[in-house]
Amino acid sequence: MKIWKMLLLSGLLVGCGSITRPSSEVSVENSVSSEVPAENSTESSTVVSSSVGTHGITWSGIDDIALQMGDYFSLLEGVHAVDGIDGELEVIIEDDDYFSYDFESTYTITYSATNSVGTKSTKYRDIAVIRGVTVQNGSFSNGKANWKLDVPGGNATFEVKNEEALITVRDAGTEAWSVQLYQTGLTFESGQTYELSFDAKSAYHRSLSAGFENVGDNYSMMVPGYQGMTLTDDYQSFSILCTPSSSVYNVKVVIYLGRNLDVDSEASPANPIDCTIDNIKVRLKTVASAELKPVFANVGNVTVRTGGEFEELPAVTAVDHNGIDISANIIRVGEVPNAVSYQTGMMLSYRVSDSEGNFGYVNRRVTYQLAKDHPYNLINPDFDNGYQGWMKDVNQTNGNGAALFSASSGIAVVDISSPSSDRWHIQLFQSSVSLTKDVTYKATLVIKSNTARNMVVEISNPANSFAVIYSKTLELTTEYQTLTFEYTPSITVSAKFSLLLGAQGVSIISIDYINNELA
């Protein structure tokens, strides 16, 4: 509470050259009283003698405290005022100083209690709400403040209703990051374990995942995949764990709302699917020391093609630091899909505590691959399976691109309504295209545009900041053309094969076929 408000509340002006908190007031007739000098003492603040006993108001639970932002706190919880004769008194909050556990500040709370003979005792308490490691506005009590929605490969809207985030998805894209709700600016220390937790629900029983990204390292994921979780009609609590091996000074906290599990692909403009999110927090998590930490077995990263194949792997087990089997205590967080539309990496988290409370966890990556005849080919080159294997990317962090992707009858259509300022701001691409040094390859495209324009085919190296291996500018016409070109990479690489479609005006591009083969 500001000093001026304190003076108005008490009606006292204390001193001439300085201002302090007012002392507790006493108003008792025909009695003898004594004041207790310690302002926040748990001893009686006022003692009154009478023929039947002793009145005196004793306070407890009003020590100054510090809270981490986002942690629920009741101003009356644990606060008591007890009179020597009357017993427990009603405690009144006379001024809450606009207290909110969602906003960083120091609040001075004014409490009072009055006994049966009219003695009133007033106490003051400072409550500091500190940022800590958490996100801001995680309860959405301040609307959409501090949060952003990014739709680099999908289509969705974001609004806040009843202090809850409502995300409506009309196109989940082909991978989890196609739709994102995020916040940046956190700092993580090396070797510390951080937990992102939140509540979520969906009447459509759609799924989501979450994680952390290192903004300074090209937004690289700090956990090894997408921890898919199916939502229900009622709120459930979910959490993600991360222990960075080096300090990260600009962490992006993100909830991935694109295509995580099979159900998410049902989203369409005619069938939007919603989910509601609330109570997002980041907290430090205590993990057992190396000598006490539980030890897991059968948790190595795996590569599979179906969820069924994954479930057939050896069961995960764990023992405590004494070698006692605690496998029955393992909690598995996350799900793996039965089918995927892109070569992606999912993640499962295994967590366990032993009888002494020693906690350990491991995050396990499950890499999904889609079938193709040769490692250098493209998946689904004729779009008979829609965009399976392809990633739709419309960058709105660096640009203002806007495009709608659709596919039917083996034709992929990219309707560009805002081309943005750079070609790479709108892309259609595939990753994991295996190329061998000094081998010549031929790319073939059957493609047209509703207006004459050009576009760039770029082949790059994701492992080297997407360094360009080869690029080719192609001239598109309003009629389908079969366009080919050959190239010979100077390195052996798992490449990204991209169509760069931005910065060329409003247009509609139709693609019938794209593939990469030996020349």
From residue 417, give the alpha-carbon distance in Å to each of 155, 402, 504, 507: 14, 6, 11, 7
Same domain, 157 and 279: yes
Is the residue at 138 inside a domain?
no
What is the token pair recorded at 302?
A: 């795996």
Please enumerate in sequence order all residues whose Cβ is within 8 A of that of 323, keeping only pairs 6 or more positions apart, or say none. Answer: none
475 with 406: CB under 8 angstroms?
no
Same domain, 234 and 257: yes
> Beta-strand (E) ranges in 176-219?
180-188, 193-201, 207-214
DSSP count for the chain of H helices, then E strands: 2, 36
Is the residue at 381 inside a domain?
no
Same domain, 209 and 100: no
Same domain, 217 and 305: no
pTM for this entry: 0.68
Q: Going by DSSP bridges, is the β-strand pair 44-50/65-68 parallel, antiparallel, or unpaired?
A: unpaired
Spatial separation of the C-alpha atoms in residues 449 and 507, rounded to whole Å: 7
Name residue, tokens 């019938």.
512
Same domain, 426 and 514: yes
Same domain, 248 and 362: no
What's 453's DSSP letter? E
Is the residue at 382 inside a domain?
no
CATH code at position 496:
2.60.120.260
Spatial separation of the C-alpha atoms in residues 307 and 324, rounded to whole Å: 31
Same domain, 275 and 303: no
Spatial separation of the C-alpha atoms in residues 146 and 158, rounded to whole Å: 13
CATH code at position 103:
2.60.40.10
pLDDT at 387: 87
What is the token pair recorded at 31?
A: 């009695």
Per-residue pLDDT in tens (0 to 9) along the chain, 519 residues: 333 333 333 333 233 333 334 444 333 333 333 333 334 443 344 454 444 568 899 999 999 998 888 788 999 999 999 999 999 999 999 999 999 888 888 999 999 999 999 999 999 999 988 877 889 999 999 999 999 999 998 999 999 999 999 999 999 998 899 999 999 989 999 999 999 999 999 999 999 999 999 999 989 999 999 999 999 999 999 999 999 999 999 999 999 999 999 899 899 888 999 999 999 999 999 999 999 999 999 999 998 877 788 888 899 999 999 999 999 999 999 998 887 777 789 999 999 999 999 999 999 999 988 878 899 999 999 998 888 889 899 987 888 899 999 888 999 999 999 999 999 999 999 988 999 999 999 999 999 999 999 999 999 999 999 999 999 999 999 999 999 999 999 999 999 999 999 999 999 999 999 999 999
Spatial separation of the C-alpha atoms in residues 63 and 39, rounded to whole Å: 11
Q: What is the 3-state secondary structure (H, E, C) of 74-143?
A: CCCCCCEEEECCCEECCCEEEECCCCCCCCCEEEEEEEEEECCCCCEEEEEEEEEEECCCCCCCCCCCCC
Spatial separation of the C-alpha atoms in residues 428 and 391, rounded to whole Å: 6
What's 464's DSSP letter? G
Is the residue at 377 inside a domain?
no
Distance of CA 226 to the CA centre of its chain: 12
The string of DSSP letters for 381-418 reads TT-TTTTTT-EEEE--SSS--EEEEEEETTEEEEEEEE
Residue type, 220: S
Is the residue at 240 inside a domain?
yes
Spatial separation of the C-alpha atoms in residues 445 and 499, rounded to whole Å: 10
Same domain, 166 and 272: yes
Q: Which helix (H) or strand (E) holds 8?
A: helix 3-10
Spatial separation of the C-alpha atoms in residues 373 and 54, rounded to whole Å: 92
Spatial separation of the C-alpha atoms in residues 9 and 16, rounded to whole Å: 18
Evaluated on CA atoms 7, 13, 17, 20, the torsion sign reads: negative
What is the token pair recorded at 147?
A: 């949060």
Q: Which domain holds residue 452?
A: 391-518
Same domain, 38 and 19: yes
For residue 357, the tally of other CB atoms under 10 A from its CB is 9
What's 426's DSSP letter? E
Same domain, 280 and 155: yes
Is the residue at 375 inside a domain?
no
pLDDT at 454: 96
Number of domain units in the chain: 4
Spatial separation of the C-alpha atoms in residues 282 and 244, rounded to whole Å: 14
pLDDT at 53: 61
Is the residue at 378 inside a domain?
no
Name residue, tokens 């390859």.
441
Q: Which of 336, 316, 312 is nearest to 325 (CA)?
A: 316
Q: Which of 277, 282, 261, 266 is nearest to 346 (CA)?
A: 261
Specify the 3-state DSSP secondary structure of 151: coil
pLDDT at 22: 44
- Integer Rg of the chain from CA: 31
Same domain, 117 and 29: yes
Among 70, 99, 130, which residue terminates a domain?
A: 130
Region of residue 118 (left: phi > 0; alpha: psi -120 to 50; beta: else): left
pLDDT at 101: 84
Among 253, 285, 317, which residue terminates a domain?
A: 285
Same domain, 161 and 58: no
Among 261, 285, 309, which residue terminates a domain?
A: 285
Is the residue at 213 inside a domain?
yes
Spatial separation of the C-alpha atoms in residues 497 and 480, rounded to whole Å: 21
